[in-house]
Amino acid sequence: MSDSSSTIRLHRVLRAPAERIYKAFLDPDALCRWLPPFGFLGKIERIDPREGGGYHMSFTNFGTGQSQWFESRFVELVPGERIVLADTFDKPGPAGSMTKTITLRPVSCGTELEIVHAGIPSVIPPEMCYLGWQESLRQLASLVEPEIPG
């Protein structure tokens, strides 16, 4: 990895089964609900939720209306256990490719979630990426943790 990119690591335990969390990474409506950080709206133009497939998504700053589109490709999918994504920004966004590795492991109170986000372009401060992920993971928890009957 070059000096022009960075890696962040996140770790959470969610009170939800691994299968529900895994589903939230593949369902377009779920992704639009939880993945954009606070203050952003998500839109998915197309999705093919299989290994080798992917999705084309935008994050739009609600305050300014500015959007950034990106492509996420599913490099590896192991249901309920592991997801590896390769992301590239549409032009005029940052060049290069980022990789996100999501590992799910059942624990006594739910699921341990580990995320390694590598290849973050230097134009994105690592602390901003980390903050955005923290916000996204709060929204993910609010989506997957409730046990709603019926």
DSSP 3-state assignment of 17?
coil
- Architecture of the domain delimited by 5-144: 2-Layer Sandwich (3.30)
What is the torsional sign of CA 93, 98, 138, 83? positive
Residues 27-72 have pLDDT tens digits of: 999 999 999 999 999 999 999 999 999 999 999 999 999 999 999 9
Q: Where are the domains positioned within the chain? A: 5-144
> pLDDT band for position 95 (50/70/90)?
confident
For 143, other C-beta atoms within 10 Å of its C-beta total: 19
Predicted confidence at residue 2, as pLDDT, reads 44
Q: pTM to 2 decimals?
A: 0.93
Is residue 95 within 8 Å of 121, Cβ to Cβ? yes
